Structure 1
Amino acid sequence: TQAAIRIFRTFASFPTQLSLLSHSRLNLFTKTSSWRRFIRSTTTSTTTRMTTNSEVDDRSRKAQLVTNPQLRHQVEVVASRCFIYAQTASIHSSRVAGLFDYGPMGCKLKNNILQHWRNHFILEEDMFEVECTVLTPEIVLRTSGHVEKFEDTMIHDVETLKCYRADHLLEETIDKLLTNPKLSEAKRSNLKSLRAKADSLSIDELHENLQTLQAKFPETGNAISKPYPFNLMFSTQIGPTGKTRAFLRPETAQGIFVNFQKLLEENRGQLPFAAAQIGLAFRNEISPRSGLLRVREFQMAEIEHFCVDEKDEDYHPKFESVQNVQMCFRSQKVQEMNAETVEMTVGEALQQKMISKQTLAYYMARTQLFLTDIGIDPFRLRFRQHLKSEMAHYAKDCW
């Protein structure tokens, strides 16, 4: 059990405390031969060790976070064999990437995490919870700007026509170049800076940099096309005529927005108030990868906090309860300077204007506390501020 806790806490895409599992299921899980082989291989080959705050100081603990490159793959193999989660329709030869099924233990884990989220946010903060339809009429997403702007930039192999996300290809090309020990420090610094802002580059900037670095398609080494936009929403038609267009929702927020007036009436016409929704969302990812981290169907838990004006945003009545929460920040300035991550309390970050509003700072701290509650190591957490060039079309600030 202790080995399971240590390894699963290391596995970033499967974060939870093993205490969320029933003991009988955990015992059955650890008795399988595949799990025993996995434990033997990982405990002898990895130097990763998760410790408590009382064991070592913060700095030395950070130094222990050494990643075993085989660890993720091994945990995914065990998760699949024990049916914690597995690729959808894996019995068929032609599998579709980015779709996963949860088994009995996976369902228990996921449901416990979602219930803890509900307790931590909705019940403790006295929020309104709603459940809106997955199938969303076109008018809703056209009004919000998603039909025109909810897209990623794609390239394809000019020979096989296989597709890949352009910014990911740029990042991977840079990663390969950075392994060259003969690279000058100036060149290395420029490449790191470019990599940090890869997902905020325009189509023309992506094209220019991919050409300059002579990027090739990852699987084949063939030439690539010029980058072009690709809308990430799944579209469909409602009714037998096919004239009423709809989308599978790409996020849960829009259902809250279109019901704002009803929620305001529920709160007797008073602001501020918060509403939350837990449910499925869908994104037609160009190149799904990293296990459960980038998929085409996934669970979301989202909060919308409505204020009267900026004065409301600058005050939250419970902020004092979280102002001393220690967090790691990568602000716009830190990223642009390619500087080290800044560690401070959320109160200090607000005082230094790194975070623009007290209400935003409060929810960031509450998010940090939720993540550590379910077993994620706080020293692996970073709050990264979106650069101005990558900010969503509706956002003033985003972390």
Structure 2
Amino acid sequence: MSLINEISLFDNNVDELRKHVNKVMADFNFDESNFNIEEFWQATDALEAQGKIALTRMDFGIPGIEPPSDCVNQHIATINDSVYTKLYPPFKGIASLREELCEFLNSRICTRFFSDDVFVTCGATQALFVALSAAHQLRPEKSKVLFLTPTYPPMIEQCRILGLEPECLELDKRFDKELVASIEHVLKQQDVSAICWASPNNPSWRQLNSAELQGIADLCNLYGVTPIEDVTYLGMHENAMKKALFPSIAGVCNEYFLVLSSSKMLSYAGERVGFLVGSKQLLDNPLAKGELDVRAKCGSLIFNITGGAPHSAQFGISNVLKSINQGDWDLEKSLSVYRDRAKRLKDILTNNGFSLVYQSNSAQQQYGFYVCFSHPKFSGIQLAKELLFYGVAVLPLTTFYSECTKGVRACIGRVDDQALDILEHKLSAFAKRY
């Protein structure tokens, strides 16, 4: 649909859209006082499928640029070869992919990585599950996991599935020594097996600095806690274009897990290929019962959950990482479009009466894959529903275990320049009403 036609359709149906949205939400038993993300997504998908409303989808964290051709072409060639479609993949992942990932990380994080310490998983979500499980089995007497929130919701749900108790510590307004002191207050109870966070953070886009990471490393060593760092958005952070080394727990701690994904970095979300990387010192630790070490346990968990990651997709991802490592493709430049979109979205929001959430003095936090904002007249849940009346889909921050009840998260993955033009028109109409 053209820009003019979509705007015209919106202008001529504002009141009807409100009635239609309310009906669909009622059909899916959506209860504003008891927000359920599954019901909200089902209703949103139904609204889009019925075609009466052209939605600006900023709810899912879905990439919006084309995957690199080196990846797709090699993936297809491997399928056509037919050899690997008949063979089960190695449960740790193919050797070439693990080697290329290590070379990729060695040029971006201040430590050395080795292919034997890499596991290829069915997405970062599986990598997180394996890391949480292995960390607990290393210290089975500890029943809690500390999460630095807001955070990716499956992290906490997986913790509960494993029979562990999640404990949350809000990152907002805690920086440097104050953050480290707050973490120590929790860890000194001696019942936490792991501490888990994402950097940059989903959804706030906060990136932990070197001093904070060193403080966390020292506390993990002192209290016997495994750090699990989700670096799913590596290459998308603010200083990525400067080719500066990314501050990571891997550079300051002898024992750690890193979690990565091809979904956001390579726009290859449909194949669900991720990575779990452990330090040699952590992986060689014997488990409490002495049956296996952590390395063997990680392999066993992957094998018994999925048997490995899709074979042909691994060859495609290995090929594109090789192109990046050889300098034939500039990953960070390709991802910089997201920062441009985020900058424009923030301008649109502030020009139409919205306030930005999670702002700090850190330039690294400014323009990422997500933008969080609020409106003075609505709670986060109310704002998410109200914006649907204007054809805009976002998620309340409370979905991400945030203490901020006023804000929502928008993902800029699928909003290109034309979508931003349409969004600006919709939010202008919202501003006139409120």
TM, length-normalised to structure 1: 0.29
Q: Which has the higher helix share?
A: 2
Larger relative contact order (Cα-Cα within 8 Å, sequence gap ≥ 6):
2
Q: TM-score, normalised by structure 2?
A: 0.27
